[in-house]
Structure 1
Amino acid sequence: MTAGDVQGAGALLLAPVVLLAVLLVVVSGLLVRERRTGRRLRALLAEVSTPALAQAPPARPRAAIVVNPSKFAHLDESARRRRQAYTAAAFRTHGWEDPLWLETTPAERGTEQARAALAQGVDVVLAAGGDGTVRAVAEAMAGTGVPMGLLPAGTGNLLARNLDVPHADLTAALDLVFSAPDTAVDVGWLEVDRTGDDPAPERHLFLVMAGLGFDAAMMAGVEDRLKRHLGYGAYVVSGARALWGPQARVKVRVDDGEPVGVRTRAVIVGNCGRLTKNLVLMPDARVDDGFLDAVVLSPRGGIAWGEVAWAIVTRDRRGQRRVQHLRGRSIEVSCAEPQEVELDGDPIGTALRIRVAVEPGVLLVRCPPPRG
C-alpha cells in the first residue's frame, strides 16, 4: 500500500467524525437559541399579564342599611340627605362600596328589606331605627351567618344599650361597623296564645325582653306624641298611669318543671337585663349565655312598689316575696284572664298564655364583646 493510499483511507475515516462534530455544534446552537427564545417569551408573557392582574382590584365590601323613616320625621329633607351623604362618605373612606338603602313601611317593618339585602350578597346589614326595626331585621338575619349592625334611632334602643352600642352618636356607631368584632348572641322566641288553646300560636322573635302584665300595659299606654316630646320620660308617665292595677292570677312553668301559681303584676322574661345605663332589671342576664332570665313582680300598694324599686336599683339577685328571679331555657305563663303582652318594648295585644324559649348563638351582631 502506497503512502497515497494510506492518506486516502485516513481521510475517509475522519469525514464521519467531522460531520458528527458539525452536527453537534448545529444542534447545540439550536437548543441554546430555543432556550433563549423560551426565556424571552416567558418574560414577555409576564410583562403582559402582570399589569392585567394589577388592574383588577379585589371586590370591595358592601353594607345594606334598613332605615325606618318614621324615626327621622323630625328632620327636614335637606338634613336627611346630609345624614345619608355623611354615612355613605364614611363607608367610602374605609374602602367600602356606597351602602344599599332600604326603607321600611308600615306593612314591611324590616324583615323583607333585610332578606332583599341578603339576596344581593351584602357583607353586613345595619338596622337604622328603634327596637322594632332591629327586631324585624334580626328575624331575617338569624341563622344566616351574615352579621347585623346597629345604627340606633329610637327612644328606648334597649338592645343598643345592652350591647354598649352608642345610641345617640351616629359617628361612634358607624365606627363600630368598621372596627368591632362579630359576636354570636342568643335570640328569644315568643309564642302568643290569645285564646289559651290555640293549636298554632303566633311566633315572634325578640332580642331584649318579652313581658306580660304591668310592663306591657305601660308600653301600650305610651303615646307617640309624648315619645316625641319627652323621649324616655314618656314611659315614666305611662307607667305611673298603670301602676295601680290589680294583681293577676297566673301559673309559671320553667323548662320541664311543675307549673307554680302566683299572683303578680308582671312576668318579664329577658335575653338581656338592662333598661337604661344604670337601671338593670335582671343583673345576671347575658345575651350570649344560652339561657333566659325572668322576674316575677308581685307588689300590692305603694309600699310594695317601693320594695320593688329598691330591689331593682340595688340589683338584688337574691329575690324576695315582691321580686322573684327565675332562669331557664323556656318559660311558660298561663293566665286566668287576658293580659297585655309586649316584646322589645312593642305592645302586641292580649293573651291567655305565652311561652318563651331561647335559641343560642344564632345571630351575629357587630358590637363590642358583651360584658361579664
Structure 2
Amino acid sequence: MDGQVESDDRPALPLGRLAVGIILNPKHPATLRAYADLVPELRLTGAHYRSMTTSVERSGRWQAEQLIEWGAETVIILGGDGTIRSGAPVLAEAGTLTFLIPTGTANVLSRHIGLRSIRHAIDHCVHTVASIIRGGPRNSRGVPISTAEFQRADGSRQCAEFISLAGIGGDARAIAHHHSAPGLLGYAWGAARALFAANFTASTADTLSTGDTSRTGDTSGEESSASVPVWSVMASKVARPAGPIAVFLQARIDAETFSMLTVGPLPERLSARCRAWAGIAAACLQGRPQAHPLMNYRNTTETTVSVESPTPAHLDGDLIGDCLDLRVNAGGKSLLVSAPTT
C-alpha cells in the first residue's frame, strides 16, 4: 500500500533545516537497499525528511503532490524511468529540485545526466543536500517534459507526459515482451523477438523540423511523408536508449527538439533481414548509424505518426498499448534535476 514509510521530525541542527521528500518504488529490490543506505547519511546532514512508497494505482504523481503539500523543498526519487515520469510533471510545476537514485531496470534518464551507479547517486545526493544546508547553490539541470497524445485501437484518445523516449512499432514490440524474463534479460529477449517483427504502414508529419545536416541540410517548417512500410518510428532525447551504443547521436536530454528515427522498411526474407540488422549494428558500432540507408534521422519539435492498423506504442519504455496514431511534442515544462558536474 502506498503512503508514508518514515518521517524524521527532529529539531533542526545548527547548520540549518531542509525539508526533503523521498519517493521510492518498492517493486525493485535495489530500492529498499538504497533507501537503507541513504537515510542514515541524510540524517547526518541535518535534513528533515518524509518518505512515501509508490504502488500500481499511485505510481508517483500523488506522492509528489503530497510531499509538495507537506513542504518538501527538494525531492529524492528512488526508482526507474517510470517512477520519475509519474512524479515529474508535479515537481516541474512546483520548481522543486529533484535528485535521482537509479534503482529501476534501464535507468535511462539517470545514465544520461551522469549518474554512474546507485552508490554514485547517493553520494551526490547527500553531498549536495549538505551543501544546500550550509548555504551552497542549488545547481540544477533543466530536463524538458514532453507530451504525447495517442488514439487507442478502440478509438479513445488519451494524453500523457514522458521524458526520454517515445516509439511506435518494433521498439514497442520489444518492450511488450520484456516480462518474459527478469530485468535486462527480459528486454534483451523482447528485442531479439522484435527484430523479426513485420513492417507496418505509417505516415509522419513533422512540425518545425530541422533536417539532419549530415544528410540533407537544414530545413524548417512542416514536412509530411506518404504512407510507407516501416519497422519503427522513435522520438528520443537520449543518445543511448538501450545499452552502451549511441543510436541517436544528436539527441540531448535537455534539448528543445527530438531526434527522430524511422527504421526500415526491413526485408521480409529471413536471410535478408539478418543481413540488414548486421549492417545496422556495424554502422552503430562505428559511430555512424545515420550512414545506413535503413536508418533515417531528422530533428523536430513535434511529430505525428499515423498507422493503418493498431500498432504497439510506448513512452519511456512503458507500453501504452496498440495505437492508431501517436503525436509527441517536445513540451515546455522542465524538471529541475540535480546532476553531477563531472
Smaller-chain TM-score bracket: 0.7 to 0.9
Greater alpha carbon shift after TM alignment, 342-351 vs 309-318 = 309-318
Within-5 A mapping of 1:266-281: 266-276=232-242, 278-281=244-247
Within-5 A mapping of 1:292-307: 292-298=258-264, 299-300=266-267, 301-307=273-279
TM-score by length of 1: 0.75
Q: Is the 8 A contact 1:142 1:362 kept in 2?
A: yes
Whole-angstrom CA distance in 2 between matches of 1:59 and 1:286: 36
- Tell which structure's C-alpha radius of gyration is larger: 1
User: Residue 142 of structure 1 aligns to a residue in which SS?
Assistant: helix
Instruction: Give 1:166 deviation, angstroms.
Output: 2.9
Please state which structure has a larger fraction of its residues in helix: 1
Please, which of 150, 156, 162 is the counterpart of residue 192 of structure 1? 150
Distance 1:128 1:56, change over 3 A: closer
CA deviation string 1:278-329 (max 9, x = no partner):
3112111112221111111113211111222223223326444200001111
CA deviation string 1:148-200 (max 9, x = no partner):
211111110111111111334264353464368211121211111125975xx
Counterpart in the other structure of 2:287: 315
Please, which of 193, 196, 202 is the counterpart of residue 158 of structure 2? 202
Please, which of 197, 205, 218 is the counterpart of residue 245 of structure 1? 197
Whole-angstrom CA distance in 2 between matches of 1:360 and 1:312: 31
CA deviation string 1:90-131 (max 9, x = no partner):
11222312x211011110000000011011111111111111
Greater alpha carbon shift after TM alignment, 304-313 vs 130-139 = 304-313
Whole-angstrom CA distance in 2 between matches of 1:87 and 1:56: 18
Counterpart in the other structure of 1:11: none
User: Residue 105 of structure 1 aligns to a residue in which SS?
Assistant: coil
- The amino acid across from 2:141 in the alignment is T
CA deviation string 1:180-223 (max 9, x = no partner):
8211121211111125975xx31111111011001101101011
Greater alpha carbon shift after TM alignment, 356-365 vs 184-193 = 356-365
- The amino acid across from 1:182 in the alignment is S
Counterpart in the other structure of 2:257: 291
Distance 1:146 1:304, change over 3 A: same
Runs (5+) with no aligned partner, structure 1? 1-54
Distance 1:234 1:96, change over 3 A: same
Please, which of 65, 68, 71 is the counterpart of residue 22 of structure 2? 65
Whole-angstrom CA distance in 2 between matches of 1:365 and 1:271: 15
Whole-angstrom CA distance in 1 between matches of 2:298 and 2:28: 35
Instruction: Give 1:368 deviation, angstroms.
Output: 2.6
- The amino acid across from 1:162 in the alignment is H
Whole-angstrom CA distance in 2 between matches of 1:92 and 1:272: 34
Indicate yes or no: 2:110 matched with 1:138: no
Counterpart in the other structure of 1:232: 184
User: Residue 175 of structure 2 aligns to a residue in which SS?
Assistant: helix
Q: Is the 8 A contact 2:89 2:145 kept in 1?
A: no
Whole-angstrom CA distance in 2 between matches of 1:288 and 1:157: 16
Q: Is the 8 A contact 2:312 2:319 kept in 1?
A: yes
TM-score by length of 2: 0.81
Whole-angstrom CA distance in 1 between matches of 2:294 and 2:260: 13
Task: State the number of aligned residues.
Answer: 303
Q: Is the 8 A contact 1:161 1:276 kept in 2?
A: no
| Sequence identity (%) | 25
Runs (5+) with no aligned partner, structure 2? 1-11, 132-137, 208-220, 268-272
Q: Is the 8 A contact 2:101 2:122 kept in 1?
A: no
Whole-angstrom CA distance in 1 between matches of 2:102 and 2:173: 24
Please state which structure has a larger fraction of its residues in strand: 2
Whole-angstrom CA distance in 2 between matches of 1:130 and 1:340: 21
Please, which of 241, 253, 260 is the counterpart of residue 225 of structure 2? 260
Whole-angstrom CA distance in 1 between matches of 2:127 and 2:251: 23
Whole-angstrom CA distance in 2 between matches of 1:164 and 1:276: 15
- The amino acid across from 1:324 in the alignment is N
